[in-house]
A and B are shown apart, each in its own frame.
Chain A
């Protein structure tokens, strides 16, 4: 894995830049309270919708809150929503997929049917139904995104497992009498990891975009909490009055999405040149 990373960094400057950008985004979101003098919800009603100035570097929004502050706090939400559920769904999907692939039979069928059900829904509609069932709020957005993504991961993990099942040293391990669990943990899972990591970086952007779509529909994060998607949507009606309200968070979304995409591409190129897409 480290070799792959090194290879990628040397070969692909763009991926390196993306990695740095992502790191910075995460850093800024963690340091948010220290980077800005304003609280997330501090309203200055008399100065709402004011343009960027010395006091408010990115202006104020429709409730008089500092946009830069909201952007930083919103990055916490948007990045968390992008990363955590994707990570969770990776873990769940990997475990289920590998188990299905290795054990086969009834277990395989059940797990794959479950995955089929989840994958059959158009993603937005599935997200809407789950949010409707659970109610809105950050935690439920996490749950929703996790539930949405584990299916693809499981399928891919299963495919990898089927390939790996027949490799020599796995056969050898089985003949020695190593338990199924140990084989999965020691031999199969570790070999799936590179593919899964690439999948992870490529799924994060779609999670961020799905959250912003849910917020647009009013199903995700609720005001006064901030998330990039929510900010873009609220800012839409002020496009002529106060364009910075929509463009700042849109820019942030695009930056994050592109960075993860490039990183994923770079990792994929480095890990498996056969899958290379220039």
Chain B
């Protein structure tokens, strides 16, 4: 008897001790500290080697220009560059660099740093080579014939000229993308990208700590030239489990939560009810779309493709899966991008018309069978949408199945040009139609690498040439005409919707302005704390 009582009282004591300690869990947060979470750890801090991990490049470095939202439009504003002049033929740009800017190690920012930043992307030849390749001599650097970019001329420390091989009116927008972050030539080391101490930039923050697969920390850069932000320190934790993120935020262990990983039902029942006044939303500038492979025996028939477009009820997806937090997309150039055509007549949901198209073209029920591929890395809501789309198509007489590919296999098969069709998501890197039009339809290599195999070479050539049209209105008209042809006539691309990117602020965050394209990554200076 006594032994049992002893044991029980011991257990009770332990429990009480734990409880007491527990009451002190979640002690006072430091002033100026921002705690956030990401689902997957970044692969590298070096923007030259990644097209996904932009948080550190965006906050530790600056670019010549930035894209900011002003009056609801995304505009290119000067950043490190204070003045510029473009030649008549659109080939030569003269830039003036801001005076007195220093890197976090005290080195002065000069034009040769800018030149080196361009050259570095080409020398490494890893990712993000598209933009510097546009400069004269870019290919030579990438081919290892020289390390100097011919088209880049440094006049003095704050003046330089860039000459392009072909005019590109979107060049300034491109210069605002995170890939074009300016690095310090003098202090560049091999540890750049992996060693926090090597990340020397002119931006408002520096990386003080990085524990792989766990978290990284950025701290305010005292030498920063701009106004002092309220966030002095940000800790980004790696929490793969969406559910855990959800619990942590409600528990007060996170100051901000990115709701893209949460199901809309949870957003509806928890966030929009309990935290309605702290919700932040921004459009994901880009879209979810279906790509169709025109090498497929059925999909090469335009009637089949048009039937697909007519068989999908996008509005139900938006209402049921996103609770209305998404907008219908009808073309290729997404809403919010310069050149977007509000008047483009896309596909209308009409299952009877779809059935008729198939019958008239001579297809029997269930004859058209193909696979809809889905990348496992997509958010689960998109995957559910893909299921629903497959079901909708089957209702009008198709015989489709959704196949989940793991990320590696998905990229492999798609690149081989052999994927029947796929549902994918595209986010704009910079505010110019070329970013999507050219990537998908700008060359024969591109249409193959995206498993589209679009056969109209004349249109492809026009898409490739469009960025060079100097006159804004003419260029816009050309993009929109091409878009019209590809969508309405050829049905080579099925646009679906663009979802809103939602966040929720914790009680310590007074305001948060997302990045113009609705990126997950944001400028920490756009977060204002209450403390």
Contact = CB atoms under 8 A, between A and B. Distances in A.
Instruction: Note whether A and B contact each other (Cβ less than 8 A).
Output: yes
Given A218-B376, A222-B404, A237-B243, A43 B265 contact: no
B265 A48 contact: yes
Closest 9 CB pairs of A and B: A45-B320, A237-B243, A222-B404, A63-B384, A49-B265, A46-B320, A241-B269, A236-B243, A224-B387
A42 B387 CA distance: 10
A41 interface: yes
**Most chain A CB neighbours (cut-off 10 Å) among B320, B376, B380, B402:** B320
27 contacts: A41-B391, A43-B391, A45-B316, A45-B317, A45-B320, A46-B316, A46-B319, A46-B320, A48-B265, A62-B384, A63-B384, A63-B388, A64-B320, A136-B406, A222-B376, A222-B404, A223-B387, A234-B380, A236-B243, A237-B246, A237-B262, A237-B263, A238-B265, A240-B270, A241-B265, A241-B269, A242-B265
Interface in A210-250: 218, 222-224, 234, 236-242
Nearest to A44: B320
A135 interface: yes
Given A48-B320, A224-B387, A239-B243, 12 more contacts: A41-B387, A43-B387, A45-B316, A45-B320, A45-B388, A48-B321, A62-B263, A223-B404, A224-B402, A236-B243, A237-B242, A237-B263
Interface of B: 242-243, 246, 262-263, 265-266, 269-270, 316-317, 319-321, 376, 380, 383-384, 387-388, 391, 402, 404, 406, 409
Contacts of B320: 45-46, 48, 64
Given A43-B387, A45-B320, A223-B383, A238 B404 contact: no
Nearest to A237: B243
Given A45-B317, A63-B387, A135 B409 contact: yes
Contacts of A41: 387, 391
A49 B269 CA distance: 11
Contacts of B383: 223
A240 B273 CA distance: 14
Nearest to A242: B265
Contacts of A236: 243
Contact of B321 (A45, A237, A238): A45
A43 B388 contact: yes
A63 B321 CA distance: 8
B326 to A, nearest CB: 14
A146 B353 CA distance: 50
Contacts of B246: 237
Nearest to A222: B404
Nearest to A48: B320
A145 to B, nearest CB: 20
Contacts of B321: 45, 48
Contacts of B243: 236-237, 239
Contacts of A135: 406, 409
Interface in A35-61: 41-43, 45-46, 48-49
Contacts of B404: 136, 222-223
A136 B262 CA distance: 25
Nearest to B268: A241
A164 B263 CA distance: 59
Nearest to B313: A45
Nearest to B384: A63
Contacts of B391: 41-43
Contacts of B262: 237
Nearest to B270: A240
A241 B387 contact: no
A63 B387 CA distance: 9
Contacts of B269: 240-241
A233 B246 CA distance: 15
B89 to A, nearest CB: 53
A36 to B, nearest CB: 17
A224 B389 CA distance: 13
Contacts of A43: 384, 387-388, 391
B384 A238 contact: no
A222 B409 CA distance: 15
Contacts of A238: 263, 265-266
Nearest to B409: A135
Contact of A241 (B242, B266, B316, B406): B266
Contacts of B402: 224
Interface in A72-124: none
A40 to B, nearest CB: 12
A218 B378 CA distance: 13
Contacts of A42: 391
B179 to A, nearest CB: 30
B311 to A, nearest CB: 15
Interface string A136-162: 100000000000000000000000000
A130 B376 CA distance: 19
Nearest to B404: A222
Nearest to A45: B320
A62 B317 contact: no
A41 B401 CA distance: 11
A97 to B, nearest CB: 35
A220 to B, nearest CB: 12
Nearest to A136: B406
B487 to A, nearest CB: 25
